[in-house]
Amino acid sequence: MEESSAKAEQVLENVLETVLHFLTSRRDRNAASLVCKSWYRAEALTRSDLFIGNCYAVSPRRATGRFPCLRSLNIKGKPRFADFDLMPPDWGAHFSPWAEALAQSYPSSLRSLHLKRMSLTDGDLTLLSHSLPLFQDLLLTSSEGFTTAGLAALASNCALLRVLDLVECLVHVHDDVVDWISSFPDTHEHTRLESLVFDCVDCPVNFDALERLVARSPSLRRLRLNRYVSMAQLHRLMHRAPHLTHLGTGSFSASELDPEPDYASAFAASKSLVCLSGFREIWPEHLPAIFPACANLVSLNFSYADINADQLKSVIRHCHKLQTFWVLDSVCDEGLQAVAETCKDLRELRVFPVNAREEIEGPVSEVGFEAISRGCRKLQSILFFCQRMTNAAVVAMSNNCPDLVVFRLCIIGRYRPDAETQEPMDEGFGAIVMNCKKLTRLAVSGLLTDRAFGYIGTYGKLIRTLSVAFAGDTDLGLKYVLEGCPNLQKLEIRDSPFGDGALRSGLHHFYNMRFLWMSSCKLTRQACQEVAQTLPHLVLEVINSEEHKADDIGILYMYRSLDRPRDDAPKVVTILH
Amino acid sequence: MEVGLKKEKNMVFEETELRLGLGLGLPGNGAAATEAEGVRKRGFSETETETTTVDLMLNLSPKESVAADGADPRDQPKTSPKEKTLLLPDPAKPPAKAQVVGWPPVRSFRKNMFAAQKSSGEESEKNSPNASFVKVSMDGAPYLRKVDLKMYKSYPELSDALGKMFSSFTIENCESQGFKDFMNESKLMDLLNSSDYVPTYEDRDGDWMLVGDVPWEMFVESCKRLRIMKGKEAIGLAPRAVEKCKNRS
């Protein structure tokens, strides 16, 4: 009797595992794992893609212990404010313990690794390259700590390398630069390379080796060059790889002494191009070369191209299919109006400032912003830096673009009110949370009172990420948000007058959050200590610099964790318990 | 923790108050300035006043502090009545002109890209009074760069910037050690005899000159374009440079 019931259970588990193979969404899998123990086991055995939103939320051992068969791993490290120098450089997010664990646990299964804001060493990369023979895809975003030597190890040892994407990383290039491109085995065999992105590796590359590599990579579809590649060299590479879909053009600049090849024909011949970026040292005179490719473009990144309105207009009027557009504010409101006229399918817009200082006026304003809202009704995501804005323009966008999921407005001047009415910007942001019912990410700026946060708490029910700086009046502001936004996961606040009372109002919710960041606010150590004692699975890191008194909190970085607090924190970090 | 305008002890006093000036030559680290120190570290130097005296307040209640330049902490062009009521008594809000770490939230590699470049829709020949763009070429480098000479105040600053821009291209040339201090004439002559790189410029008269032979301001006015060439090739420029100097002085 027992044997047959054991068999029945086994059959059930097999069926379960087979069925669970079809579950790909991690949220579905998390839910399935909570049903009962056998579902937990089956799910763990069948999960092949693991996402870890905070590298300190779980230890490598726990992760590898639970999931024995991973094919891909995605880990995020430092919080976003680390990008703006708000954290000490040696704070943590070290990848080494993970590298060791992965090398040991997944030698025959791990194929893909995606790291964001992690700190990796060349040793880590070398270890991976030796330990994971099936390794195919490496995607490093906003990470640092490694050099060209680490890249060379990957190139040499990963025979199946398919994707090597380095996005906005800080690669140390000052001492002993290694010719990593030459480290790809230089044989007559084809490589498996599909994507090679290295625009952030800021040192010259061996162009001959690069050209040979591209020539023997027939599967290459994405190539993003760094600024040391000239137009003439780009032309040769495009000739070698006419099937590219994503191209980062490198410098897009030429010496006057070189005879000019026909750049436009190279772009005309690249009929598969849908995504263009680069333009790192752009000579605007060469812009017409890309005209033949514009009609097919879905994504265009001009955010390193210092071009004016007329120069942009000459390009953008061809770009009817554009969905993603990143640009500098050097194009002015006039340039944005041209975008609004042509790019009816635009989903994502980012406008970065050339001049990041606080000024009275700037090249873009509520005029361009409102024009975009009128012309690009399908807009889902916007990041907009400006020196002046009005509530009316923000309200207009809330009405014209109801599909907005991400709304990030950065009025560079701190505490700046509505430029016309001198009112706070409360009503504008209020309209956004009220009218954009799909909104999950919000970043606010300008002069804001507690009222704005009242709106967010009342209407921002789907918000998962909220970014606040130099805003609010009293604890009430933060209270509204912590009590009103049930889906809040990531909350980053700086230089705002929120204190202990506000912190306590979130006690019911902190275990549901990935992290809370509060810097230069009004917290006291005592209140943080209380929270640490009340919620034992929260880790509260306090980072103070010398000028802070012992009781004050410079930075509070707080996150949930299944394991003991980390032991790799630098001296400047205090972990409360 | 609050970093903000702490009440500075260097206040505007009424004549009836006693002020004891000890003239101790304290560098500002004395008792009177400790609160201002925290402010200084955040770069609020515009609102401080230098002091070498210690102010002893005898049985007097402290007055409201006034920033040295009298500016409203938020430095807004217009202030509405609503805004004024929002002013906290002890604001955590620094003056608008102060440099704030990490604000605006633009990543450093974006900020660095444009530190030396301002938005300019014009060619280098048509320069606004605030910018003076010239093309810079370096022998052996694959493409030209542009610099705004008005961004720099001296030759060493320009040398620094050029060195950063082109340093990568000197990696292969193992003889080159980047840019040398070219304000020293004898060093210059050494340079011209080596295969290191030497910066030269074309002036308004169309002559090619060695960079560094005229005062900085004169250089900015007369420079039309820059070319960084090998020292050996620049040797012919030296006598002309000397002669031009003679003509000018």
Q: How far apart are CA B9 and CA B136, in angstroms?
A: 51
Q: Which residues of B touch A390 (CB under 8 A)?
A: none
Q: Tell me if A466 sits within 8 A of A481, measured CB to CB.
A: yes
- Residue of chain B minimizing CA distance to A258: B142
Q: Which residue has tokens 């002069």?
A: A447
Question: Which residues between 116 and 155 in chain B have a beta carbon less than 8 angstroms from any beta carbon of chain A?
Answer: 117-121, 137, 141-145
- Residue located via tokens 């604001």: B91
pLDDT tens, per residue, chain B with 249 residues: 443 334 444 344 444 444 444 444 333 333 333 333 333 333 222 333 333 333 333 433 333 333 333 333 343 334 344 433 333 343 444 444 456 889 999 987 787 666 544 433 333 333 445 667 788 888 777 667 778 888 888 888 888 788 777 765 544 333 334 344 444 455 555 555 555 778 888 888 888 888 887 888 888 888 888 888 877 677 677 655 555 555 654
- State which amino acid sits at residue B226: L
- Show the CA angle centred on residue A334, arms to residues A333 and A335, nearest 5°: 90
Of the pLDDT bands very low, low, confident and very high (cuts 50, 70, 90), residue A395 is very high
Q: Which residues of B touch A549 (CB under 8 A)?
A: 1
State whether ipTM is beyond 0.95: no
Quick: pLDDT tens for A525-537: 999 999 999 999 9
Q: Which of A412, A422, A548 sits opposite B78 (nearest CB)?
A: A422
CB–CB contact A81 B169 (8 Å):
no
Per-residue exposure over A130-163, b if at least 16 CB sit within 10 Å of its own CB, e if not: ebbeebbbbbbbbbbbbbbbbbbbbbbbbeebbb
Across residues A69-88, what is the average pLDDT?
95
Interface touch B76/A417, C-beta < 8 Å: yes
Give the fold, CATH level 3, of A1-47: Monooxygenase (1.20.1280)
By CA distance, what is A328's nearest residue in B? Answer: B119
- Give contacts of B107 with chain A, Cβ < 8 Å: 83-84, 168
Integer Cα distance of A340 and A379 in angstroms: 11
Residues in chain A with CB shorter than 8 Å from the CB of B171 are: 177, 203-204
pLDDT confidence of residue A484: 97
User: E strands, A389-509, where?
Assistant: 406-411, 441-443, 465-469, 490-494
* pLDDT mean across residues, chain A: 95
How confident is the model over A351-355, as a mean pLDDT?
94
Beta bridge partners of A494: A469, A519
Indicate the fold that domain A49-258+269-490 takes in CATH. 3.80.10
Q: Which residues of B touch A553 (CB under 8 A)?
A: 1
Best interface-test mutation with B: which of A182, A201, A281 has the largest number of B CBs within 10 A?
A: A281
Cite the beta strand spans of A77-126 per DSSP E: 112-116
- Name the 3-class secondary structure at A163: strand
What pLDDT sits at residue A349? 98
Quick one: pLDDT at residue A259? 64
Q: How confident is the model at residue B190, as a pLDDT? A: 55
Q: How much is the pTM? A: 0.76
Chain B hits for A552, CB-CB cut-off 8 Å, are 1-2
User: Hey, are the CB atoms on A303 and B110 less than 8 Å from each other?
Assistant: yes
Q: Where are the domains of chain A?
A: 1-47, 49-258+269-490
Handedness of CA B70, B72, B74, B78 (dihedral sign): negative
Residue B104, preceding bond cis, omega within 30 degrees?
yes
Q: What is the per-residue DSSP string for A250-300? A: TT----TTSPPP-HHHHHHH-TT--EEE--TT--GGGGGGGHHHHTT-SEE
Report the DSSP pairing between strands A72-76 and B223-230. Answer: unpaired
Give how far A294 is from chain B: nearest CA, Å: 22
Name every residue whose Cβ is closer than 8 Å to that of residue B215 and which is 6 or more positions away in sequence. Answer: none
Instruction: Tell me the per-residue pLDDT of A245-277, one tens digit each, with 9 for 90 and over.
Output: 999 999 998 765 556 778 899 999 999 999 999
Query: CA nearest A330 in B: which residue?
Result: B119
| CB–CB contact A81 B102 (8 Å) | yes
Report the share of chain A in percent with pLDDT over 70: 98
Compute the average pLDDT of residues A543-554: 79
Higher pLDDT, A65 or B44: A65
Instruction: Render pLDDT for A42-58 as a digit per residue (tens, 0 to 9).
Output: 999 999 999 999 999 99
User: Which residues have CB under 8 Å from A425's CB, separation 6+?
Assistant: A389, A391, A394, A411, A417, A418, A444, A445, A446, A447, A448, A452
Tell me whether B102 touches chain A (CB under 8 Å). Answer: yes
Give dist(CA A332, CA A375) in Å, integer. Answer: 16
Residues in chain B within 8 Å Cβ distance of A200 = 109
Q: What is the DSSP string of B66-99?
A: --TT---TT--SS--HHHHHT--SS-----TTS-
Closest CA to B235 of B188, B187, B201: B188
Backbone angles phi, psi at A76, to 5 degrees: -115, 145
SS3 of residue A363 by DSSP: coil
Chosen for mutation from B78, B100, B103, B167 (greatest number of chain A CBs closer than 10 Å) is: B103
B1, B97, B228: best to mutate for the A interface, most A CBs within 10 A: B1
Indicate if the pLDDT at residue A39 is higher than 50.
yes
Model pLDDT for residues A410-441, shown as the tens digit of each residue:
999 999 999 999 999 999 999 999 999 999 99
Look at residue A577 in the predicted model and tell me its pLDDT: 77
Chain B, window 29-68: residues with a beta carbon less than 8 angstroms from a chain A beta carbon: 37-38, 41
Taking CB atoms and an 8 Å limit, are A308 and B109 in contact across chains?
A: no
User: Strand (E) positions, A11-143?
Assistant: 49-52, 72-76, 112-116, 137-141
| Residue B163 structure tokens | 């060195």
**Is A303 in contact with B77 (Cβ distance < 8 A)?**
no
Encoded tokens for B176: 């080159």
* Nearest-neighbour CA in chain A from B185: distance (Å): 30
> What pLDDT, on the 0 to 100 scale, is given for residue B88?
38
Query: What confidence score (pLDDT) does residue A428 get?
Result: 98
Using an 8 Å Cβ cutoff, are A195 and A169 in contact? no
Chain B hits for A360, Cβ within 8 Å: 77
Q: Is-contact A318 A273, C-beta < 8 A?
A: no
Number of alpha carbons in the 13 Å side-chain half-sphere of residue A513: 29
The per-residue pLDDT for B130 is 62
Q: At what angle do helices B237-248 and B185-192 cross, to 10 degrees?
A: 150
- Best residue of B90, B136, B143 to probe chain A, by most A CBs closer than 10 Å: B143
Identify whether the C-beta of residue A117 lies closer than 8 Å to the C-beta of residue B107: no
- What are the φ and ψ backbone dihedral angles of A302, each rounded to 5 degrees? -105, 20
